[in-house]
Structure 1
């Protein structure tokens, strides 16, 4: 083959490649043309998985293509969160980010932070509540805080999560906001909220921190009671529980959250399209009934507002972990 023929062939191949590129499904005006993977960094059967599968069903109905859920577990959430951040930014992989993304990099588990994502929207945030045994004499959070102040160092015990977990951070933040040393209370680590609350019901600890949905079963059994919600607004599902701000005048609030994200660099039109569909989904009666029946709080913050929310969550987690001496 002569050089001129080779050149013409190369030119033709290049032109064909250009046509294929310009008509590829990476372009927002044709998205989505195939299934969109929805990564969940936590195991099947948990709250994040359950909410993601509900969203998957409604997204499929809304877009007309499957949104299969893939659970990528391990590393205390690192593997799944990394899988989302490191996916191709073509719009065909999204995922659920959770509060834990704020603590991972502080503890040296990963270099990934909230800045490695394109924020779609926050759809759930459950504030932490402070629980005591139904047999205790504490009638308010001020009663509890007064006892902590007058007690010996680490005389009182609390539980609700692993060391440095969401409920430990919430408890430590409450103490700091009340001008009490973060380690004044001895934290008893547990594999999640459920065993921590069971320890409280059995008398093994003096109080526990967990979300209202996590404490519902033991509350209904009459074994534990909530003193306060670490939030600035009361819960619609438990309006009788006062907020920390109401009780103390302090606006410290903290809780778990879940939001849809994509890898950084996804076409902004794709993000906008997802946000438009999600704005309808979070107001869908089926979605609202699902969330209410399970006690999950509903809200919707998209784009820059969600990014600011993640930034504030990250900052609070870092400050509290440092005060606990877990990170430098």
Structure 2
């Protein structure tokens, strides 16, 4: 009897240890993943992230929920994720603005090293866009107009990538604009087509629907795109440099390599899906899947370039 009782207790103990170990080693992910987009709904960051999230949900077998947390030119939502647990269940939509530009041009509670880059899934070229009935038929006329009077231009924060790039472009072309900042590129485009501002710097996911609906016109863009035939590039006007944004996801620093590998492998699979590729093409985003050490090295180089630019500006 004692032997039987001892055996049962041993089995129970072993089972308890097994269950505890199983719980501790539960495969990621085993619950919903939140992806914070620090910009408003309908913009390039929001749309590109939602396409990725929808596809990842099917690939991972758990809900991947996109949450817009706006404010402070992307700082509010990005700061929220910087403070989150590094367990892989709270991610941030990362891009040129909130990760590489803003931390260098304004005081933020985070910087590039606060996060672990996971994947990049798309890139988007910057454009200068006006309403259909704008008096500026091309970029030369726009420049001439901005030199002769005050022209308003929508962007998404004084220290955002849009404003920084737009200022570099304006400086090279010899004009100035009055910036009107919104929560995101989509909101700026609403103001453009509504006649509230003269122009906007924007990305295809935000301005594309308005151009296709004949409500707006792109005067100039960073690189030629089949979706917008006939639109000249900045280089065509002698403007030097590359002006574009990108979209991906980062995790809070310290996230396990297992989580990074799982998200990267899943992204690699969804980026082969013809439906996903078509969805990105439909909104004017260019698929640009990158991950790993080489990509992170490139990010750090770009971060350093903006850091140097911020130092130069502050000395003026």
Instruction: Please tell me the TM-score bracket, short chain as reference.
Output: 0.7 to 0.9
What is the Cα deviation at residue 126 of structure 1? 1.6
Residue 35 of structure 1 aligns with which residue?
A: 31
Q: 1: distance between equivalents of 2:215 and 2:49? A: 31
Counterpart CA distance in 2 for 1:223 and 1:164 is 28
Q: Could you tell me whether the CA contact under 8 Å between 2:173 and 2:239 is conserved in 1?
A: no
Cα separation, partners in 2 of 1:68 and 1:145, compared to 1, 3 Å = closer
Q: Deviations over 1:42-61 (max 9, x none)?
A: 36733434443433332232
Provide structure 1 residue ranges, at least 5 long, that are not aligned to the other structure. Answer: 1-15
Paired residues, what number? 298
- Tell me how far apart the structure 2 counterparts of residues 249 and 122 of structure 1 sit (CA, whole Å): 27
Residue 177 of structure 2 corresponds to: 186
Query: TM-score scaled by structure 2?
Result: 0.75
CA gap 1:201/1:40 in 2 versus in 1, 3 angstroms: closer
1:271 paired residue number: 260
Residues 91 and 266, structure 1, Cα contact 8 Å, conserved in 2: yes
User: Is 2:129 the counterpart of 1:131?
Assistant: yes
* CA RMSD in angstroms, aligned pairs only: 3.7
Shift, 1:198, TM fit: 5.9
Q: Secondary structure at the match of 2:220?
A: strand
> Is 2:77 the partner of 1:86?
no
Aligned-partner Cα distance in 1 for 2:130–2:152:
10
Contiguous gaps of at least 5 residues in structure 2: 1-14
The match for 2:224 among 217, 231, 234 is 234
In 1, the alpha carbon distance for the partners of 2:207 and 2:50 equals 23
Deviations 1:216-247 (A, max 9, x none): 344345454222212xx422422432322344
Change (3 A) 1:19 1:105: farther
Secondary structure of the 2:267 match is helix
Structure 2 partner of 1:118: 116
Could you tell me which of 36, 52, 55 is aligned with 1:55?
Answer: 52
Deviation at 1:159, TM superposition (A): 0.3
- Per the TM alignment, residue 189 of structure 1 is displaced from its structure 2 partner at its CA by 1.3
Deviation at 1:297, TM superposition (A): 2.8
Instruction: Give the CA deviation at 1:112.
Output: 0.9
Matching residue of 1:157? 151
After alignment, is 197-206 or 99-108 more displaced? 197-206
**Is 1:311 the equivalent of 2:305?**
no
1:300 aligns with 2:289: yes
**TM-score, with structure 1 as normaliser:** 0.73
Which structure has greater helix proportion?
Answer: 2
1:225 to 208, 217, 221: 217
How far apart are the structure 2 equivalents of 1:238 and 1:107? Answer: 32
What is the match of residue 201 of structure 2? 209
C-alpha displacement of 1:82: 2.4
Give the secondary structure class of the aligned counterpart of 2:135: coil
